[in-house]
């Protein structure tokens, strides 16, 4: 019952547990690394690697640590495996951080430790932002305590369990580190009594120099129940020269820290073997937390064992009985002669065995737990795995000075003696195996067995390794059946008592790899050639076969992860697959087991060129045709491709790149051949080379030939120029090309040069043909010849034709202005000259004085005057010229227009008597008929004729009128209109 609030300043030692980020991956790794038949066997990792590969993220770990620090706690340790954070906190800090209350308690049936009992009263909780990364918090109560798990001398025991041959040969634990998980008081000063009493060899630094203490919660100086002394002295009785680490996790009479102790053990990673002699009742969260830590230790290669208990089939203190990662060591009643020879050995009635139905997810039948006698229908962790003497009547002699009883040697029994005895004996066995080369260092540098249960169960009760205990019982199992020892595995002693020298022999005689070979030893990478690897063992493979791990030093060679050499066989083969390489490689193939390895070298050569082709096979040097080469190899190219060297036998005619790369996954690639202009046909050999292998192909580079010959224009009027052009089939070489040219008629045309020059690098050239004026059309054949190729073109020279008729005037006043008309030919007139027929389409409007116009030889033009005639209205007339065609020009002959109207006199007395004369004037003669001018007056005092006619040929006409009397002086406007032109005159009529 609670008796009051715990002191707020009371110091608590907490361990905050974190989950795995990849729990399934971790379990799978541990199973593989512990399985002797797995390629991963004994490939242990470090605590850091456990955290990196399987733990929560470093950020989440830091988040939890930061939270604890923010609550005033002092961080003592952050586990390298990211599974635990150890921190010191006051009661007040813990209550605030985990939202609970911590009270002192009184308990009638429980020994009250110094400082009293304390516990939280409400389930601890943590903010959601942090809580997802926390699975358990221990250290806020001290109700949880383990239950300890009692005469044969060390010498007898070593003989009984066949440790004596190892021990006598010098394997006494040197170089091995054994750890003890401890929660009891002890005195290191008791150790020398064990050494002197039983004549144990002294370590180089003196007795006790090989023992160290790692404090988690100090329990060393607390009450001594004999458990720690039993553990310490029984380990040293078997392995007196080992390095012994006592992990001090508190005291049964005070506070204990299971999670913190396991955290420190895993974090240090110093112990090869750890033994524990306690049973626990744990909450589910704490059970999961410590299970995670045991997984980490298995991954690190630490062999952890624990006493199976001293209450027979009552496994109510169920942990670590439900833990698959812990070797469960049960108990026997062993009777031996003074020399240690076994008289009998039966199952001890107190030997912890059977199973507990705790619902922990990991409390299932482990994958390794199978063999003769192992039930297959009980899906829980079954106990024990092995057994050694544990009966108090035949127990262990231990020196105890507990401050309560007289100091001296006491006989103590229980599986609490069996487990540390097994640990010390295993240390001797491991030392011997290391000396024999049968326990080599793994990748993490550790020479360890790790979770040894897999190996033990793989022997299936082999009588050379185990003494099968077949009598004795330890109670009734949870299913009601009696638990009795029997042949094979049983719930009293597991496989029975270990024969440690037999175990060493079994492991050491495990067939070793003597060699690995590849046939053939040289192969083209990626080819169809079959390569076979052969692993040879020193002895026949064991029952079930021997697993050999395989690896390659380069990805161009792949091998299976492992092969199994059949039981009884001394060798096994495997297929080796190669892929293409860019250069020759020496690849190391390694075959390995836990006890041996061997290597061989396979030489992988690059692909072989199988073909080289060029297209086209012949090409005009330097021409526009693209020449391409195609490289073909016999296997697909590797990653990064494969480089093929290229060369040309004549770089003046054709060049290639120094190399070309066949891309990954392909067998062919192409490259461009750059060809050049040549003067003569040249055969060029192109070579592809890979290593010492090559292929060739020939490309014929030809000189340029005449491709085209053209005349521009091909038809011309004599006297004009013509361009003759030659186009070669490729560029001209250095120095250029001269192409001769000739004419079939040199009188009608001449050349500007007898040859056409094509400049170096160019493919065209031209000359000018000057044609002569001709009287009649002629044809001339123009011919070019080069390199046996002749091309011809026909030039047609035509006599001139009318090019145009032009006028110096576009308009002319009929009968006044006469335009000059020019007839122009397309080219000069021939030797006989040219007569052009000239005319108009309206002779009544305009006409020439002659019907022909002569253009003299060599001239292109002649002129004639076009005589215009008077017209009544503007009229367009065409001047027409005809010679070898007709041309015309249009001239507008304009009609005369009204220029003025005048009056005489301009002032007159209106009286109806006085006469006024008006005169009309046009700018040219009227015609061909009269021109009528209309008249009008602005005032009725003046009456004028309505129209006046200007007779043909005349330019003027007059009219008269008599103004009438007016009342006042009046200005009268007289208007004359001809066509669209009006003119006016003003007459003043006076009064």
pLDDT in tens, 690-745: 988 999 999 999 999 999 999 999 999 999 999 999 999 999 999 999 999 999 99
3-state secondary structure 136-182: EEECCCCCCCCEECCCECHHHHHHHCCCHHHHHCCCCCCCCEEEEEE
Looking at per-residue pLDDT, the higher value among 152 and 971 belongs to 971
Q: What CA–CA distance (Å, rounded) separates 149 from 348? A: 13
pLDDT for the residue 133? 79
Last residue of a domain, one of 661, 678, 702: 702
Average pLDDT over every residue of 814-838: 94
Q: In this model, does residue 849 exceed pLDDT 80?
A: yes
Inform me whether the pLDDT recorded for 124 exceeds 50: yes
Q: Is residue 44 part of a domain?
A: no
Point out which residues pair with 922 in neighbouring strands: 898
- Find the length of the chain: 991
Paired with 330 in beta bridges are 387
Other beta carbons within 10 angstroms of residue 396's beta carbon come to 28
Half-sphere exposure of 649 (CA within 13 A, CB side): 12
Q: Do 552 and 600 lie in a common domain? A: yes
Same domain, 257 and 271: yes
**CATH code for the domain of 633:** 2.60.40.10
CA 343 – CA 340 distance, rounded (Å) = 9
Q: What CATH number is attached to the domain comprising 127?
A: 3.30.70
Section 606-621 average pLDDT = 94
Query: Which alpha helices (H) appear in 510-571, and where do they start and end?
Result: none
**Separation CA 386–CA 494 (nearest Å):** 5
912 within a domain of the structure (yes/no): yes
Domain count within the chain: 7
Closest CA to 357 of 315, 295, 307: 315
d(CA 446, CA 882): 120
State residue 763 phi and psi, 5-degree precision: -120, 0
Q: Enumerate residues 6+ apart whose C-beta is below 8 A from 831.
A: 773, 775, 857
* One domain, residues 867 and 906: no
- Together in a domain, 162 and 93: no
pLDDT digits (tens, 9 = 90+) for 239-279: 999 999 999 998 888 888 999 999 999 999 999 999 999 99
- What single DSSP character describes residue 639? T
The rounded mean pLDDT for the chain is 92
Based on its alpha-carbon atoms, the radius of gyration of the chain, rounded to whole angstroms, reads 63
132 and 175 in a single domain? The answer is: no
Could you say which of 554, 578, 605 is where a domain stops? 605
State the DSSP string of 241-299: TSEEEEEEEB-TTS-B-HHHHHHHHHHH---SEEEE-EEB---HHHHHHHHHHHHHHHH
Is the pLDDT at 149 greater than 80, yes or no? no
Asked whether the beta carbons of 731 and 704 are under 8 A apart, the reply is yes
**In percent, how much of the chain has pLDDT > 70?**
97
Rounded CA-CA distance 704/678 in Å is: 8
Domain span at residue 848?
802-894
**DSSP of 796-825:** EEEPP-EEEEEES-SEEETTT--PEEEEEE
Cis peptide bond N-terminal to 320, omega within 30: yes
> 773: which DSSP letter?
P
List Cβ neighbours of 128 (8 Å cut-off, separation of 6 or more).
none
What pLDDT does 146 receive? 65
- Residue 655 clears pLDDT 70, i.e. is over it: yes
The 10s digit of each residue's pLDDT in 365-383 is 999 999 999 999 999 999 9
CA distance 133 to 339: 57
What sign has the CA pseudo-torsion 938, 939, 940, 944? negative
pLDDT reported for residue 927 = 83
Is 43 within a domain? no
Q: Where are the alpha helices (DSSP H) in 623-682?
A: none
Domain assignment of residue 679, yes or no: yes
Query: Packing angle between helix 227-238 and helix 415-435, nearest 10 degrees?
Result: 30
Q: Are the CB atoms for 51 and 22 separated by under 8 Å?
A: no
Is residue 889 situated within a structural domain? yes
Which whole-number Å values give the CA distances from 770 to 124, 394, 792, in the listed order? 116, 138, 17
Query: Looking at the domain assignment, is residue 41 inside a domain?
Result: no
* Residue 2 pLDDT: 62
| Tokens representing residue 528 in the block | 């169809």
* Same-domain check for residues 906 and 787: no
Half-sphere exposure of 862 (CA within 13 A, CB side): 21
Whether pTM exceeds 0.95: no
Of 820, 814, 742, residue with least CA distance to 781: 742
pLDDT at 116 exceeding the cut of 80: no
Question: Which burial class, exposed, middle or buried, applies to 437 when counting CB atoms under 10 A from its CB (0-12, 13-18, 19+)?
Answer: exposed
Q: Is residue 40 part of a domain?
A: no
Residues 769 and 882 in one domain: no
Whole-Å CA distances, 180 to 247, 489, 779, 880: 6, 27, 123, 135
Residues 614 and 600 in one domain: no
Lowest mean pLDDT among 146-155, 218-227, 664-673, 693-702: 146-155
Q: Please, which residues have CB within 8 angstroms of residue 758's CB and are 6 or more apart in sequence?
A: 726, 728, 732, 736, 737, 738, 739, 764, 765
* Average pLDDT score over residue span 758-771: 95
Half-sphere exposure of 195 (CA within 13 A, CB side): 17
Q: How far is CA 704 from the centre of its chain?
A: 51
Average pLDDT over residues 163-186: 94
Does 357 reside within a domain? yes
* Over residues 916-929, mean pLDDT: 93
428 and 378 inside one domain: yes
User: Which DSSP category does 340 fall into?
Assistant: -
**Domain of 213: which CATH number?**
3.40.50.200
Is 232 found in the same domain as 196? yes
Cβ-contact 609, 690 below 8 angstroms = yes
Residue 413: pLDDT over 90: no
How far is the CA of 802 from the CAs of 805, 879, 882, in angstroms? Answer: 8, 13, 7
Cα–Cα distance list, 3 to 105, 117, 254 (Å): 5, 10, 18
- Angstrom distance (rounded) from CA 64 to CA 95: 16
Distance CA 529, CA 593 (A): 28
Long-range contacts made by residues 374-382, C-beta under 8 angstroms, separation at least 24? 374/457, 374/488, 374/489, 378/479, 380/322, 380/355, 380/356, 381/321, 381/322, 381/323, 381/324, 381/355, 381/356, 382/354, 382/355, 382/491
Q: What is the pLDDT of residue 106?
A: 65
Minimal CA–CA distance to 876: which of 809, 953, 954? 809
The answer to whether residue 868 scores a pLDDT higher than 60 is yes
| Cα–Cα dist 659/641, whole Å | 12
Cis peptide bond upstream of 384, omega within 30: yes
Q: Using the Cα atoms of residue 537, residue 564, residue 519 and residue 550 in order, give the sign of their dihedral.
A: negative
Structural domain ending residue among the three candidates 589, 605, 621: 605
| pLDDT tens, residue by residue, 51-60 | 999 999 999 9
- Three-state DSSP class for 378? coil
Positive or negative CA dihedral for 71, 72, 76, 78?
A: positive
CB 773 within 8 A of CB 800: yes
Q: Mark whether 536 and 595 lie in a shared domain.
A: yes
Q: 571-578 and 557-558 as β-strands: parallel, antiparallel, unpaired? A: antiparallel
Number of Cβ within 10 Å of residue 534's Cβ equals: 15
- Is the Cα dihedral 343, 346, 349, 352 positive or negative? positive
| Contact (CB, 8 A) for 630 and 672 | no
Q: How many CB atoms lie within 10 A of CB 316?
A: 12
- State mean pLDDT over 526-549: 89
H/E element, 25: helix 23-34
State the DSSP string of 404-441. Answer: SS-SEEEEE-SHHHHHHHHHHHHHHHHHHHHHTTSS--
* pLDDT of 25 strictly over 70: yes
Q: Which two tokens stand for residue 952?
A: 């043909």
434 and 406 together in one domain: yes
Tens digits of per-residue pLDDT, 184-234? 999 999 999 999 999 999 999 999 999 999 999 887 888 888 899 999 999
For residue 110, is pLDDT > 50?
no
Listed residue (637, 636, 635, 644) closest to 689, CA to CA: 644
| Residue 967 pLDDT exceeds 70 | yes
């Amino acid at each position: 019952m609670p008796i009051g609030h715990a002191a707020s300043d009371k110091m608590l030692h907490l361990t905050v547990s974190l989950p795995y980020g990849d729990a399934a991956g971790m379990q799978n790794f541990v199973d593989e690394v512990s399985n002797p038949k797995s390629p991963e066997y004994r490939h242990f990792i470090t605590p850091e690697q456990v955290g990196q590969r399987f733990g929560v993220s470093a950020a989440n770990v830091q988040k939890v640590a930061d939270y604890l620090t923010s609550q005033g706690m002092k961080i003592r340790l952050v586990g390298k495996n990211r599974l635990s954070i150890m921190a010191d906190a006051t009661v007040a800090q813990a209550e605030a951080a985990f939202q609970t209350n911590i009270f002192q308690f009184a308990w009638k049936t429980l020994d009250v430790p110094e400082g009293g009992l304390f516990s939280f009263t409400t389930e601890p909780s943590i903010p959601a932002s942090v809580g997802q990364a926390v699975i358990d918090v221990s250290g806020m109560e001290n109700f949880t305590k383990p239950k300890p798990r009692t005469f044969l001398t060390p010498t007898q025991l070593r003989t009984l369990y066949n440790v004596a041959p190892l021990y006598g040969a010098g394997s006494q634990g040197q170089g091995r580190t054994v750890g003890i998980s401890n929660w009891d008081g002890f005195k290191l000063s008791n150790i020398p009594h064990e050494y002197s009493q039983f004549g144990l060899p002294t370590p180089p630094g003196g007795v006790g120099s090989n023992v160290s203490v790692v404090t988690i919660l100090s329990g060393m100086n607390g009450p001594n129940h004999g458990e720690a002394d039993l553990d310490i002295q029984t380990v040293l009785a078997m392995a007196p020269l080992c390095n012994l680490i006592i992990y001090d996790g508190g005291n049964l009479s005070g506070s204990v820290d299971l999670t913190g102790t396991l955290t420190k053990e895993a974090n240090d990673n110093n112990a090869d073997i750890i033994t524990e002699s306690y049973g626990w009742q744990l909450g589910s969260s704490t059970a999961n937390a410590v299970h995670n830590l045991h997984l980490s230790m298995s991954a690190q290669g630490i062999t952890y064992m624990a006493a199976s208990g001293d209450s027979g089939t009552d496994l109510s203190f169920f942990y670590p009985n439900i833990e698959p990662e812990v070797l469960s060591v049960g108990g026997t009643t062993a009777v031996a002669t003074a020399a240690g020879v076994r008289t009998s050995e039966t199952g001890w009635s107190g030997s912890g065995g059977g199973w507990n139905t705790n619902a922990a997810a990991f409390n299932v039948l482990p994958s390794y737990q199978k063999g003769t006698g192992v039930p297959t229908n009980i899906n829980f962790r079954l106990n024990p795995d092995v057994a050694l003497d544990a009966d108090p009547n035949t127990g262990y002699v231990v020196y105890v000075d507990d401050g309560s009883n007289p100091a001296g040697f006491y006989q103590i029994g229980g599986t609490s003696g069996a487990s540390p005895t097994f640990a010390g004996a295993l240390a001797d066995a491991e030392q011997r195996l290391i000396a024999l080369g049968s326990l080599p260092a793994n990748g993490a540098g550790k020479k360890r067995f790790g979770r040894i249960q897999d190996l033990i169960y793989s022997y299936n009760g082999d009588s050379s390794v185990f003494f099968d205990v077949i009598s004795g019982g330890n109670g009734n199992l949870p299913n009601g059946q009696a638990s009795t020892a029997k042949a094979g595995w049983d719930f009293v002693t597991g496989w029975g008592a270990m024969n440690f020298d037999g175990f060493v022999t079994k492991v050491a005689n495990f067939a070793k790899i003597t060699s690995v070979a590849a046939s053939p030893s040289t192969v083209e990478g990626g080819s169809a050639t079959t390569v076979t690897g052969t692993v040879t063992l020193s002895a026949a493979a064991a029952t079930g076969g021997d697993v050999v791990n395989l690896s390659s030093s380069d990805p161009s060679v792949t091998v299976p992860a492992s092969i199994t050499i059949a039981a009884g066989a001394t060798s096994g083969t495997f297929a080796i697959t190669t892929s293409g390489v860019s250069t020759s490689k020496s690849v190391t193939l390694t075959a390995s087991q836990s006890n041996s390895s061997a290597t061989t070298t396979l030489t992988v050569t690059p692909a072989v060129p199988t073909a080289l082709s060029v297209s086209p096979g012949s090409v005009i040097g330097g021409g526009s045709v693209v020449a391409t080469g195609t490289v073909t190899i016999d296997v697909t190219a590797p990653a990064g491709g494969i480089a093929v060297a290229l060369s040309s036998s004549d770089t003046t005619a054709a060049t290639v790149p120094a190399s070309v790369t066949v891309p990954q996954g392909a067998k062919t690639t192409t490259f461009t051949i750059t060809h050049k202009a040549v003067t003569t046909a040249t055969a060029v050999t192109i070579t592809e080379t890979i290593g010492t292998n090559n292929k060739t192909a020939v490309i014929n580079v030809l000189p340029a030939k005449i491709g085209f010959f053209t005349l521009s224009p091909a038809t011309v009027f004599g006297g004009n120029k013509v361009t003759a052009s030659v186009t070669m089939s490729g560029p001209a070489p250095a120095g250029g090309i001269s192409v001769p040219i000739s004419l079939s008629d040199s009188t009608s045309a001449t050349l500007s040069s007898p040859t056409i020059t094509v400049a170096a690098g160019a493919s065209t050239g031209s000359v000018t043909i000057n044609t002569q004026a001709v009287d009649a059309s002629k044809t001339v054949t123009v011919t070019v010849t080069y390199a046996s190729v002749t091309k011809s073109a026909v030039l047609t020279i035509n006599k001139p034709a009318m090019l145009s008729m032009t006028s110096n005037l576009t308009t002319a006043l009929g009968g006044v202005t006469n335009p000059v008309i020019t007839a122009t030919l397309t080219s000069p007139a021939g030797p006989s000259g040219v007569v052009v027929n000239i005319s108009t389409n309206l002779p009544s409007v305009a006409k020439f004085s002659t019907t022909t116009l002569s253009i003299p030889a060599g001239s292109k033009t002649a002129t004639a005057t076009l005589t215009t005639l008077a017209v009544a209205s503007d009229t367009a007339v065409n001047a027409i010229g005809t010679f070898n065609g007709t041309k015309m020009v249009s001239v507008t002959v304009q009609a005369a227009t009204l220029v003025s109207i005048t009056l005489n006199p301009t002032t007159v007395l209106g009286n109806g008597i006085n006469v006024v004369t008006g005169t009309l004037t046009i700018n040219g003669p009227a015609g061909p008929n009269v021109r009528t001018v209309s008249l009008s007056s602005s005032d009725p005092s003046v009456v004028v004729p309505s129209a006046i006619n200007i007779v043909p040929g005349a330019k003027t006409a007059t009219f008269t009128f008599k103004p009438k009397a007016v009342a006042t002086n009046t200005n009268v406007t007289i208007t004359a209109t001809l066509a669209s032109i009006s003119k006016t005159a003003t007459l003043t009529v006076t009064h």
